[in-house]
Amino acid sequence: MYSARAMSTLVWIELDRGAPDHNLRELRRGLKKGTILCAVVKANAYGHGVKEMVPLLPSADWFAVNSLEEGIELRELGEKRPVLILGHVPLAMLEEAVRRKMDLTVYNRETVEALARMDAQVIDPVRLHLKVETGTGRQGILPEQVEGFLERLKTVPGANLVGLSTHFANIEDTLNHDYAQFQLDRFRQVLDVLDRRKLRPEFIHTAATAAAILFEKTHFNLVRAGIGIYGLWPSRETYLSTLLGHRPVPDLRPVLAWKTRLVQIKDLPEGSYIGYGCTYRATRPIRVGVLPVGYADGYDRKLGNSAYVLIRGKRAPVIGRVCMNLTMVDISDIPQAGLEEEVVLLGRNGEERISAEAMAEWAGTINYEIVTRISPCLPRKLVG
Ligand SMILES: Cc1ncc(COP(=O)(O)O)c(C=O)c1O
């Protein structure tokens, strides 16, 4: 009898066992000694699978997640290292977050008031990181509100301000980093005020992967690296800026490959239509390979008629629309391909490679979205 898991191995994710920690070490080479490297493992470790990824990151100092639920998952995996929650913790769940010994990002007055109402014994160890809005226009309090916020925080028993942070809006998408400099200046002004009042918290952090690679002055004493630990560059512009700035180029090794198998092969005559909407019509007799993967697995519908997959080290174009659970490819030029032959959607095969960046270009998005949207239901296998 087949188990559900064995049956699901028609589509799977392979994780290169050595790559995540290698990438962490590569990123660490650009940091000064003692800088804390916080591995961002939100969104199911950027789609890689959090329970598989975390054990592959023994040299991460901290972890960062988006939600309390993600933080709890790390604690339930037995993770003892500090866990920083970047997103909003519902007020009703604050007590749970404190009990689970999470570091919390704060940027709402209401959060502070809810902590103030909490039983002093519960709240005792809560570690807070104040997020400053320096120009990204999302989470954070405005610089001019920081002092008032801190005054209130000081009166909350057990609320321990350990961190000050911000996040850059425009490092990845450009070769011009004036706006990042503007944000950094605003952040420094806040830090100066705190210094004058002898309120500087222990952990100061602004840099994600791109800033970590490009600008030492953004590192302070903690860096929150996401995409880089998965072996992906934040953008082509970040890579170019690294070269133009004569910065050390980290050797980032992609962690993830995405694979499937051919589940049907058939020869169709010239003029045949393929898939919903009849968007593809064969201009010659065609051999079609059917793949058991679709947009329900995170294989973007925009990959229809635009992407390639790899079979026996050769590219086969995706033809017709991507369906919910199926995708068709033209394997006319790979006549040796047989039923249940391995197909690489993302990753290496022989001399060829489909990168997350190539797939992102075909789908009109970024590598971050390509990997984070891979279904958490697919099995993850460790290789290498
Ligand atoms: C606040 C914050 N810090 C750090 C990161 C990590 O960014 P990256 O994946 O570019 O390293 C993110 C990612 O979205 C983030 O939202």
* 325, 298 contact by CB (below 8 A): no
CB of 141 closer than 6 A to ligand 1? no
Sequence-ordered alpha helix ranges (H) in 206-280: 209-214, 236-244
CB of 74 closer than 6 A to ligand 1? no
Count CB neighbours of 262 within 10 A: 24
Q: Which of 24, 86, 133, 237 to mutate to test the pocket of ligand 1 (most atoms within 8 A of CB)?
A: 86
217 flagged as catalytic: no
Q: Is beta strand 222-225 parallel, antiparallel or unpaired with respect to 36-40? A: parallel
CB of 222 closer than 6 A to ligand 1? no
Q: Is beta strand 264-268 parallel, antiparallel or unpaired with respect to 286-291? A: antiparallel
Domain range list for the chain: 17-244, 256-383
Q: Please report the pLDDT score of residue 66 as a whole number.
A: 98
Question: Is the whole-model pTM more than 0.85?
Answer: yes
Q: How far apart are CA 165 and CA 163, in angstroms?
A: 7
Per-residue pLDDT of the chain (384 residues; tens, 9 = 90+): 445 544 458 999 999 999 999 999 999 999 999 999 999 999 999 999 999 999 999 999 999 999 999 999 999 999 999 999 999 999 999 999 999 999 999 999 999 999 999 877 666 679 999 999 999 999 999 999 999 999 999 999 889 999 999 999 999 999 999 999 999 999 999 999 999 999 999 999 999 999 999 999 999 999 999 999 999 999 999 999 999 999 999 999 999 999 999 999 999 999 999 999 999 999 999 999 999 999 999 999 999 999 999 999 999 999 999 999 999 999 999 999 999 999 999 999 999 999 999 999 999 999 999 999 999 999 999 999
CA distance readout (Å), 371 to 59, 238, 335: 23, 19, 31
Fold of 17-244: TIM Barrel (3.20.20)
Residue nearest to atom 8 of ligand 1 (CA): 226
Ligand 1 centroid to Cα of residue 328, in Å, is 35
Question: For residue 134, which of 108, 175, 170 has the smallest C-alpha distance?
Answer: 170
CB of 223 closer than 6 A to ligand 1? no
266 flagged as catalytic: no
Question: For residue 321, which of 307, 310, 335, 333 has the smallest C-alpha distance?
Answer: 307
Return the CATH architecture of domain 256-383.
Beta Barrel (2.40)
Ligand 1 centroid to Cα of residue 168, in Å, is 9
Ligand 1 centroid to Cα of residue 176, in Å, is 19
